[in-house]
Structure 1
Amino acid sequence: MPRKTVVPAPARPAWHRPALAALLLATAVLYLWDLGASGWANAFYSAAAQAGSQSWKALFFGSSDAANAITVDKTPAALWVMSLSARLFGVNPWSILVPQALMGVGSVWLLYATVRRTSGPAAGLVAGLLLALTPAAALMFRFDNPDALLVLLLTAAAYCVGCALERASARWLALAGAAVGFGFLAKMLQAFLVLPAFAVAYLVAAPVPLGKRLLHLLGAFAATVAAAGWYLVVVALWPAADRPYIGGSQTNSLWELAFGYNGFGRLTGDEVGSVGGGRGWGSTGPTRLFGGEMAGGIAWLLPAALLALGAGLWFTRRAPRTDRSRAALLLWGGWLLVTALVFSYMSGIIHPYYTIALAPAIAALVGTAAVQLWRLRSRPAAAGIASGGVALTAMTTYALLSGSSWQSWLAPAVLIGGLLAAAALFFAAHLTRWAAHAVAAFALVVLMAGTGAYTLATAATPHSGAIPSAGPASAFGGRSGGRPGGGFGGGPGALLGTTTPGASLTALLRQDAARYTWTAATVLSNAAAGYQLASGRPVLAVGGFNGTDPYPTLDRFRQYVATGKIHYFLGEGRTMTGNSGSDAAQQIADWVAARFQPSTVDGVTVYDLTAG
């Protein structure tokens, strides 16, 4: 039986520590600067974090309100972080958004550490820089959606797989599985898209016999199931009468939410309770990621990453089975291909910001290839691929920006500069040392010009609402955001944005609020979130996020009113409806409109449920 050998990571030169510190500091500044400009960002999650700061039960279940009526339509791991921060530092945009920015810094550091182990510190630094300068990353690491925690955990899992490959370590592989399992508690089945890549990389390259590799993978699978499944089991066993309704489900079931609405329904489009699928973000197919707002978030380096993957596999085709460079290609390449294919062909709900999940793999592949090809620049094949990658990126940038009015000079400048850099890079091996390094630096600037400029524009633009998109408001169409004024409307503004109640309505909601379980009720979670954040008191979100959840039923709502648990109903009696799901919210709105007299406060229709 051969003994396991541990291959040391590439040596770290003296300059790497200050360079890494500079990268992490710059990333922190990028993600933290003027962070409060986005206000509550996604008020749907901010309101749930507010609820978690007021109630431990709301924190555990991810309730939309502190009175624990209904949960958000995701598992609550990301809310745990935000709620704890709000408990420590108060409920405000900074306490909710700063943890996301710190997750971004952590993701950059973990990606550097992972790439460095196989390709050296220079490749790790380039990969970390490219991740930091991905527009979708800058968007989500400055926002309060669950994607920031998901990316942090998946990058941590990739680091653990790298350590497991070095040591043939079942323990490190189990840690990777646990990280992915916890990622499930952030965004459910999307976390599992990396598992095929991790499994193939370990199965192919771990330096132990096949039987042990399979046994180690079985242990990692058990760790994944345990880390993801414990919460599902606890919620399933918890008496339904003593916990909030599971938002996004039709049967008050977290299992249905995880594997239906937020699971396989996203692939097939058969999402009960949904009000629309992915058709708004381009037709399914291989070009989806290169169209519209998805392209602005992620497409800049995607062709170069695919070229890097193909070239890397070709150069390592004769390497030993346990070659760590090829194992890294299988890991990052598998991550990229599986996730990209799912995003390209899924028929259900998909939003542009989902593409942040591609960012670590793209950054790792391009960063590794840039440094490795530079080291092999005396070989014509390597020089040609490096030159082609720069030219391809320049043309991609030109294609993405040529149809936009934003910074119209940038597209031709990057195209001309990229083609010049590509030509010079092909002959870099024949230049003097100084000239060659100047060409390399210029090529790297061109490589990052488009994605970097768009990332800076993303960070400088406030984003809010349920469906943010990377970039400035002037590029690739408008950006989703909250709408000023108030009022439950039932249209897309109420579903995708949020309400900002005026001073008179806010004062009304706070008046005698302690006497009621909910100071108000309204249809749709985003509408409820705005009222709740303004008043600081629980607001019942009738029908959940889409208005199609069967909670509360009309009978239960009437009981709440009869027992004096709700003070006001806010809205005009219209709901957001889809082609499936419950119409309980519509029944409630109609019942309120027929039984109670409306008044208008700050432009919002108000029904006093205690005056009937």
Structure 2
Amino acid sequence: MDTMTLHRDAAGRPARPAHATAPTQAGPAAPTTPNRIQRLWRGPAGDPVWARPALLGLLLATALFYLYDLTANGYANSFYSAAVQAGSDSWKAFFYGSSDAGNSITVDKPPASLWVMALSVRVLGLSSFSILLPEVLMGVATVGVVHATVKRHFGAAAGLIGGAVMALTPVAVLMFRFNNPDALLVLLMALGAWATMRSIEQGSARWFAVVGVFIGLGFLTKALQVLLVVPAFGLAYLLFANTTLRRRITGALIGVASMVLSAGWWVAIVELVPASLRPYIGGSQDNSFLSVTFGYNGLGRISGDETGSVGGGNGWGTTGLGRMFSSSIGGQISWLIPSALILLAVGVYLRGRAPRTDARRAAYLVWGGWLLVTMVTFSLMAGIFHEYYTVALAPSIAALVGMGAAEAWERRHSAVGSIALAAATAAAATWSFILLSRSDWQSWLRITVLVLGLASALLLLAITQLHRRFVPVVVAGALVAALAGPAAYSVQTVGTAHTGSIVTAGPTVAGGRGGGMPGGGPGGAGGTRTGGGMGGLLDATTPNTEVVSALSADAGSYRWVAAAIGSQNAAGIQLGTRLPVMAIGGFNGSDPSPTLAQFQQYVADGDIHYLLASGSGGGPGGMGGGMGGSGTGSQISQWVAANYTQVTIGGTTFYDLTQPLASGSGSADTSTTTQTT
């Protein structure tokens, strides 16, 4: 038999013989690498030719934008950077999220975000860049997740719009260049939405278990805040998943179990390990993670009853449904909220008669529920609230704008579609004009955005009557009008250094905060302020060379080279020396850790070298106050002042805990010595 007849195709049928002049032996296989590269560049076969290059361009542009002058933010929030430094030195500190490698106390949040940054520091070494690089990557990933989730059911253009809105939201730009837990939290919530849509599409309990994993990891990032998206995710799955009701209920229970297991393993370890074998749980008054979760970081944020807080009431702004549009918050997040709400309402209306399992309607519930529940909660919570919390709204706004715009564009030949496009554009332009009018910054932009937006809105009403050459111009005008304001704020944010515990995006506005907190310094080695004092409640400073030299001398003989009241005071010294510093009382100085008796025992055992004098910090000093907190800083300060020698190092006052006062010498004020190096 001719050997050519032995060749068969994929279905098992004889292959058609090659031309008689063709060689019978196959040549070498063609290389597959170019094809893979082409597929990476081209994307799925069904996509428009521009879709994948546009996505790659968006992700690259986002990365470059977020990376620009990144180290100008220095150590950003030194409270978390000190914990990252500790976790890079001690695996025990890494696991618990301790503020220092001596494991005296933890930060007041779960440690997942610290884990990511500490691993980066272990690989790249301690620097501003190694701490903030993971945040940038989380931002780029979030843009990609929003794009992918929206594109799956609404098309490539919708995904691109959603991704661009996400990338240019001012508060998102701020937090994806900062080291607070919010960056990882937002990424995990976006991944939860992506997995929810997959579980609904496939009717899959396995995919909903994945949702539970992302929510559980979100809990280990910022505790109960992640639960704000659970009602939307759970309800969408129960109503719209492509399977029977019984399996939907079973899948929902599996998702809950997955969530509990994903978060509960760490919580169980922390609660079961004896207190003597682990650090004190920061933010609590009873050394319990559950207590701080449901109190200070939980229901206390809603009611305002937060034992150990730095303040409350009107100090966090006026509550009410208009809070997201207020002077201090509006420019952070609200640019496209009116448009998102319009497009959400229109999208739900247009999907009204769709089958139960319609994926687009499910998407409106997933993202719309996320937006509404989170926005209402933020608006009404009476406890601690910072402007940057609103980054949790960014993915939902971005997705709704992309989805709704695509849905309305598909229906542009109908009155509903064209009116929706025009209304969303006009709302974005008008609200941008109002937000931009709250500041004198770039005053020319406000009228430009308004005129361009209203003109584009009018033309969108007659979009089907325009010559097709003008349609792209009108669409581009609408997009520019909608995004110019937040993009300008984002550019200003990238060009401004941000450090400290409270930061905001964009320029200063009337009635609100703006720009960065004072003290942005050079990035490479850290970049917090330098000077004689050692910081305060909301920001830290880098100690001068005299202080670093004195505290580093014989540092191996001590568990902590120094102690200071309040975490920021301690963080500045720790980041400057890269040695453990005890934060008495935790972040606010109001946690009862350590007790006076414990501190006295540490001193007797030779574990602590110096105590930063209360007057040398700009923060809580020796009071250890807070709202009903029982911090022991005042007792410790008084005991140390009465019993140990006061020294001045490089302009900063410490007490040397290895040099007790001579018996009967009186108060420290009459026995002060000065040490210089």
Instruction: Give the TM interval when normalised to the shorter protein.
Output: over 0.9
Please tell me the residue identity of whatever aligns with 1:469: T
2:210: which partner in 1? 175
Counterpart of 2:391 in structure 1 is: 356
- Contact 1:488 / 1:571 at 8 angstroms: preserved in 2? no
Cα offsets for 1:141-188 (capped at 9, x unmatched): 000000111011111111111111111000001101110111000000
Q: Distance in 2 between matches of 1:208 and 1:474?
A: 51
Matched, 1:591 2:591: no
| Deviation of the 1:10 alpha carbon | 11
Q: Is the 8 A contact 2:426 2:453 kept in 1?
A: yes
1:112 maps to 147
1:488–1:522 CA contact under 8 A, matched in 2: no
Q: What is the aligned partner in structure 2 of residue 258 from structure 1?
A: 293
Query: Is structure 2 residue 303 aligned with structure 1 residue 306?
Result: no
Q: Aligned partners of 2:239 and 2:128: how far apart in 1? A: 46
Aligned match for 1:338, one of 342, 351, 373: 373
262-271 vs 577-586, which moves further: 577-586
Q: State which of 466, 477, 481 in structure 1 corresponds to 2:513.
A: 477
Aligned counterpart, 1:156: 191
**Worse-superposed segment, 441-450 or 270-279:** 270-279
1:142-541 matches, within 5 Å, as 142-277=177-312, 279-472=314-507, 476-478=512-514, 479-482=516-519, 484-486=529-531, 494-541=536-583
Secondary structure of the residue aligned to 1:468 is coil
**Contact kept in structure 2, 1:480 and 1:496, CA below 8 Å:** no
Amino acid in structure 1 at the alignment position of 2:587:
F
Shift in CA distance, 487/572, structure 1 to aligned 2, threshold 3 Å: farther
Tell me the amino acid that sits aligned with residue 50 of structure 2. W
User: Which residue matches 2:596?
Assistant: 554
Say what the alpha-carbon RMSD is for the aligned residues.
Answer: 1.5
SS class of match (1:496): coil
Question: By how many angstroms is 1:597 displaced?
Answer: 3.0
Offset at residue 601 of structure 1 (A): 2.7
Question: Is contact 1:298-1:359 (8 Å) kept?
Answer: yes
> Quick one: distance in 2 between partners of 1:11 and 1:339?
36
Q: Say whether the 8 Å CA contact 1:101–1:141 is kept in structure 2.
A: yes
**Per the alignment, in what secondary structure is the counterpart of residue 433 of structure 1?**
coil
- Render the CA deviation track for 1:35-82: whole Å, top value 9, x for unaligned: 111100011111100000100000000000011111000000000001
Q: Which residue in 1 is equivalent to 2:674?
A: none
Contact 1:259/1:265, CA 8 A, preserved across alignment: yes
Alpha-carbon distance in 2 for matches of 1:154, 1:481: 31
- Other-structure match for 1:604: 652
Task: Determine the C-alpha separation between the residues in 2 that align with 1:579 and 1:183.
Answer: 28
Give 1:591's aligned amino acid. W
- CA distance in structure 1 between the partners assigned to 2:114 and 2:631 by the alignment: 28
The equivalent of 2:62 in structure 1 is 27
Worse-superposed segment, 539-548 or 569-578: 569-578
- Residues 479-524 of structure 1: per-residue CA shift (max 9 Å, x gap): 32448444667xxx61111122112112111111111110000000
**Residue 569 (structure 1) aligned to one of 601, 604, 611:** 611
Rounded to whole Å, the distance in 1 between the matches of 2:550 and 2:161 is 54
Q: Is the 8 A contact 2:59 2:144 kept in 1?
A: yes
Deviations 1:350-394 (A, max 9, x none): 111100100000000011111221221111221111111111111
Partners of 1:578 and 1:399 in 2: CA distance: 37
**Count of paired positions:** 601
CA distance in structure 2 between the aligned counterparts of 1:408 and 1:248, rounded to whole angstroms: 43
Bigger mean CA deviation after superposition, 403-412 or 106-115: 403-412
* Structure 2 spans left out of the alignment, 5+ residues: 1-43, 520-527, 616-620, 661-677
Q: What is the identity, as a one-letter code, of the residue corresponding to 2:383?
A: G
State the alpha-carbon separation in 2 of the partners of residues 286 and 179 from structure 1: 29
Question: Which residue matches 1:70?
Answer: 105
Secondary structure (helix, strand or coil) at the match of 1:305 reads helix
The structure with the larger Rg is 2
Deviation at 1:595, TM superposition (A): 2.0
User: For residues 375-424 of structure 1, what are the alpha-carbon distances to aligned partners after superposition, in whole Å with 9 as ceiling and x for unaligned?
Assistant: 21111221111111111111111111112021111112111111111111
1:222 counterpart letter in structure 2:
A
Residue-by-residue CA offset, 1:87-110 (whole Å, 9 max, x unaligned): 111011111000000000111111
Of the three residues 119, 134, 148, the one matched with 1:99 is 134
Out of 77, 83, 106, the position equivalent to 1:48 is 83
**1:260-316, CA deviations, whole angstroms, 9 ceiling, x for partnerless residues?**
111111111111111113633421101111113321210101111111111111111
| Residue pair 1:308, 1:365 contacting (<8 A) in 2 also | yes
> Residue in 1 aligned with 2:115?
80
Per the normalisation by structure 1, the TM-score is: 0.96
Cα offset, 1:610, TM superposition: 0.7
**In structure 1, what residue type is equivalent to 2:199?**
A
Partners of 1:484 and 1:499 in 2: how far apart?
A: 4
More helix by share: 1
Q: Secondary structure at the match of 1:247?
A: coil
Q: Secondary structure at the match of 2:579?
A: coil
> What CA distance in whole angstroms lies between the structure 2 residues aligned with 1:11 and 1:164?
23
Residue in 1 aligned with 2:5? none
Cα distance in structure 2, aligned partners of 1:487 and 1:65? 22
Query: What is the identity, as a one-letter code, of the residue corresponding to 2:49?
Result: A
% identical aligned pairs: 52
* Kept after mapping to 2: 8 A contact 1:35/1:94: yes
Give the AA of the match of 1:252: N
Q: Which amino acid aligns with 2:649?
A: V
- The one-letter amino acid paired with 1:590 is Q
